Amino acid sequence: MDLLEYQGKQLFARHGLEVSAGEAVETVEEAVAAANRIGYPVVVKAQVLIGGRGKAGGVKLADNEAQVREHATNILGMDIRGHVVRTLWIEHASDIASEYYASVLLDRSAKLPLVIFSVEGGVEIEQVAEESPEKLVRQHVDPLEGLSREQALRIAADGGADEDVREGVADALLGLYEVWSAEDATLAEINPLIVTPERKVKALDAKVSLDGNALYRHAENQDLSDKENQDPIERRASEQGLQYVALDGDIGILGNGAGLVMSTLDVVAQAGGSPANFLDAGGGSDAAKIKQAVELILANDRVRAVLFNIFGGITRCDEVANGLIAAFGEIKPRVPFVVRLDGTNDVQGRELLQNAALANVHAARTMNEAAEKVVALAAEQSNNGGQS
Ligand code: GDP
Ligand code: MN
């Protein structure tokens, strides 16, 4: 789960990192009021989950109310590479003597946290890695020991931080490491980590990704996800505890179990189809659950046909069939469904479906058969759609 800059900075502040005071706002008037409270000069910053905001014109300094008004008006609603700006962060502007870079992330191949530091900040770190790799310090940390002040100071020195700010850089690295570890982050990055003319070290930007699977341990972080920019159906699904992912094709994919759903995507693609979304309905077979899942899949109006793929293990196919029949008694699907039932009690399940003779529901036995059928039905639907 990626955080907006200001949310990252709020986490930073909680762990003792130096950041500028600021306010998050959503309208021009709020921006002006916030700037007047904070005191000029301020910086007006687009809050979107993508970097390079400065280059795109989403970060602007303002010396007075008129400039805040102008920048806020321009930046709100701006589209930064597909991310529409709905929130601004207004903070007191800092004077900059140097721009450094610092991050802590999980190095999956080494199975260790990795601290990266460079005095070449403010630019993309990939660029530094390519053009001047000698200016990048990379140090693994023993997760049981944590980052020591000694190691942090060594990183600052090895990276060539000015001598008089090495203590400040070490503080920043220690704070960043604490954010990474205590908040269950997979990435905590500061670019730029600035040195002010007064020789203070401060985080001017924040990029934090939290591990969604560890979120249950952090009640206070649970409402940080960027709900506004989330697909509304994905949001509904996550509120109902279901795994739903929006894609851009026209075939809805529904299955019980993440692995099965993933392979269903592949089989449908192989049959020449293009998935519109996928939903893992989990192990449930009761009508209410199935109804919920079907409603979510159909909420996307690009869906022209749905493949409901069930492999019965502990979940019995006859129970799923009964659940489906009950669910379809309540919602009449507007597009064809292909239901593949295989595994425990599949014969009974298919028989139940056949006897129920639901309109728009086709039974299939194998995944390939189901995929071919659903691709053909989706194509038929889109031809019909073209004529009407
Ligand atoms: P990004 O472009 O999305 O990485 O956004 P940043 O928050 O990193 O801001 C981009 C650039 O704007 C920074 O590298 C700074 O050079 C500049 N900037 C941001 N805040 C301030 C500030 O308070 N004072 C000054 N002078 N420049 C700033
Ligand atoms: Mn930045």
Same domain assignment for residues 360 and 317: yes
179 within a domain of the structure (yes/no): yes
Indicate whether 53 and 124 sit together in one domain: no
Which of 189, 221, 253 marks a domain boundary? 221
Determine the Cα–Cα distance for residues 377 and 2; give it in Å rounded to an integer.
38
The pLDDT of residue 312 is 85
Give the domain-ending residue among 92, 120, 150: 92
Coil vs helix vs strand at 143: coil
Q: Which atom of ligand 1 is nearest to the CA of 121?
A: 14
- 109 with 185, same domain? yes
Q: Please report how the helices 367-387 and 258-270 are oriented relative to each other, as an axis angle in degrees rounded to 10.
A: 60
Distance CA 288, CA 322 (A): 11
> Of the bound ligands, which one is closest to the alpha carbon of residue 99?
1
Residue nearest to atom 12 of ligand 1 (CA): 54
66 and 120 both lie in a single domain? no
Intervals of the chain under pLDDT 50: 386-388
Q: Length of the chain in residues, anyone?
A: 388
The pTM is what? Answer: 0.72
Indicate whether 272 and 343 sit together in one domain. Answer: yes
In a domain, 7, yes or no: no
Instruction: Say which residue the tokens 């990435």 belong to.
Output: 187
**Which of 221, 240, 268 is the endpoint of a domain?**
221
CA dist., res. 156 & res. 164, Å (int): 11
pLDDT at 387: 41
Give CA–CA dist 16/195, Å, rounded.
Answer: 17
Check which CATH number belongs to the domain holding 239 and give it: 3.40.50.261
Question: Are residues 236 and 378 both part of a single domain?
Answer: yes
What's the confidence (pLDDT) of residue 239?
80
Distance 377 CA to ligand 2 centre (A): 48
321-345 tens-digit pLDDT: 898 898 888 888 889 999 999 999 9
**Of the ligands numbered here, which is closest to the C-alpha atom of 51?**
1
Q: Which atom of ligand 1 is nearest to the CA of 5?
A: 7
**What is the per-residue pLDDT for 285?**
65
Domain that holds residue 214: 98-221
User: Has residue 3 been placed in a domain?
Assistant: no
The separation between the first and the last C-alpha atoms of the chain, rounded to the nearest angstrom, is: 42
In this structure, what is the dihedral angle of CA atoms 244, 245, 250, 253, given to the nearest 10 degrees? -50
Centre of ligand 1 to C-alpha 141, Å, is 29
Residue range 306-325, pLDDT digits in tens: 999 988 888 888 988 898 89
Residues taking part in catalysis: 101, 189
Statement to judge: residues 86 and 123 lie in one domain: no
**Does one domain contain both 207 and 130?**
yes
Which CATH number is 137's domain given?
3.30.470.20
* pLDDT (0 to 100) of residue 228: 57
Token pair 């995507």 is found at 265
Distance 80 CA to ligand 1 centre (A): 16
